[in-house]
Amino acid sequence: MPDVRVLIVDDHAMVRSGLRMGLEGEEGIEIVGEAANGTQAITHCEQLNPDVVLMDLRMPQMNGVEATRAIHERWPDIRIVILTSFTEPDMVQEAMHAGAVGFLLKDSSLDELCTSISAAAEGRSTISADTLRILVDTTAGSLESILGLTELERSALESLFQGNRGEVVAESLGMQSSELDDLVTNILAKLSASRNNNH
C-alpha cells in the first residue's frame, strides 16, 4: 500500500516544522509539502496532489474554513483534517460544514495524529473526544432531544468524554474501531443538522 501523502498547512513555521519532524519518521506517511495559509494550500493541492491535508483554522489571507471549502469543492477525494484549539468551536462547526473529515486538538499525541491521518485517507471521519465535547457544548439544549442520539451513540459519547481512547471505547461496546468511526460520523451529522436548524 502506498504511503499517505500529507500536506501540512499552518501559518506558524515552528508548528509546521514540529509536525513534519514528528510525522516524517512514521511508517506509511510521506510529507509532500507545507503551506503557510489557505491560498498556498490550494496551490499546493493542485501541484502536489496530497491524500490528506492537516489544516490550521486561523491563518492570514485565507483561513482554514475557506481553504477547506475550496479544496473540498475542487478535489473531493482530498481528505482534510482540522487541527484546532479549545477557543474556536464555531470555526470547527464551519469547517465540518465545509467538508473536513477529521478534527484534532493541536496538543494531540503523535499516535492520535497518525491514526487520524490513516482514517482520513481511508475515507473515515475521526474526531478527538475533546473536540467532540466542544461541538456538543456549543449545541444548545438537551443532547438527546436535539440530536436524537441512539443509546449506543450516547454510550460511545460518554465513554469518549471520560477520556478513553477510541480502541478502548470500541472494545467496550463490542465493535470494531471502524464501526466506532462510523458511529462518530453519525453523531457529527446530527450535530451539523442541529446547528443548521438553530441558525
Residues 193 and 100 in one domain: no
pTM, two decimals, is: 0.76
Residue 191 pLDDT more than 90?
A: no
Task: Identify the CATH number of the domain in which residue 164 sits.
Answer: 1.10.10
For residue 86, what pLDDT is reported? 59
Extract the C-alpha cell encoding 107: 496538543
Residues 77 and 15 in one domain: yes
Residue 55 pLDDT more than 90?
A: yes
What confidence tens digit (pLDDT) does each residue in 163-182 have? 677 778 889 999 987 788 77
For residue 197, what pLDDT is reported? 59
What confidence tens digit (pLDDT) does each residue in 142-153 have? 454 455 778 888
Residues 1 and 48 in one domain: yes
Has residue 72 been placed in a domain?
yes
For residue 61, what pLDDT is reported? 87
Residue 174's domain comprises: 139-199
Structural domain count of the chain: 2
Has residue 133 been placed in a domain?
no
Residues 182 and 119 in one domain: no
Residues 44 and 124 in one domain: yes
Query: Beta 52-56 vs 79-84: how paired, if at all?
Result: parallel
Provide the β-strand partners of residue 9: 35, 55
Task: Identify the CATH number of the domain in which residue 81 sits.
Answer: 3.40.50.2300
Residues 119 and 143 in one domain: no
| 31 vs 155: CA distance, rounded Å | 36
